[in-house]
Amino acid sequence: MQKEIICTECANRCHLLVEQQGDEIIVKGNRCPRGLKSGREEFLGERVIVHGFVRCGEDKIPVQTSTAVAKGMVYKVTLAIKRVRVSEPVEAGTVLVENISSTGADLIVSEGE
Ligand code: SF4
């Protein structure tokens, strides 16, 4: 099985061709090792929605990524979320940061608990 994937780790947006041969995952088209890792994760479904909170005065607003991101990007996204501040209450679904940490996912306000 082959899968075409666009690497979202940086602005080059390399087109990756990922294929499983036995136990091995072959990635072609990546210009650097990050693309190799990203291609493997995307192919294997090793991606997650990142959740967190951003400050709004004394309150905290629940947020999440709009789509799943590579597990290897979770720490970077979490750090980026900590830097986000909101000056007034916002509705669920509002985009706070587009393409957060160049993952291709937006940071949006989530529904909360
Ligand atoms: S493979 Fe490397 S150079 Fe290409 S988009 Fe991914 S991170 Fe950027």
pLDDT in tens, 47-58: 888 999 999 989
Residue closest by Cα to atom 4 of ligand 1: 14
pLDDT in tens, 5-49: 888 777 788 999 999 998 899 999 999 999 998 888 888 888 888
Select from 13, 34, 36, 102 the residue to mutate for testing ligand 1; criterion: most ligand atoms less than 8 Å from CB.
Answer: 34
Q: Do residues 56 and 40 both lie within one domain?
A: no
pLDDT given at position 1:
81
Rounded distance between C-alpha atoms, residue 67 and residue 62, angstroms: 15
Overall domain count for the chain: 2
Q: Do residues 20 and 41 both lie within one domain?
A: yes
pLDDT given at position 47:
81
| Whether residue 33 has its Cβ less than 6 Å from ligand 1 | no
The burial class, CB within 10 Å (0-12 / 13-18 / 19+), for 99 is middle
Rounded distance between C-alpha atoms, residue 28 and residue 21, angstroms: 13
Give the domain range for residue 73: 51-109
| Whether residue 71 has its Cβ less than 6 Å from ligand 1 | no
Rounded distance between C-alpha atoms, residue 22 and residue 11, angstroms: 32
**Predicted TM-score (pTM) of this structure:** 0.61
pLDDT given at position 92:
93
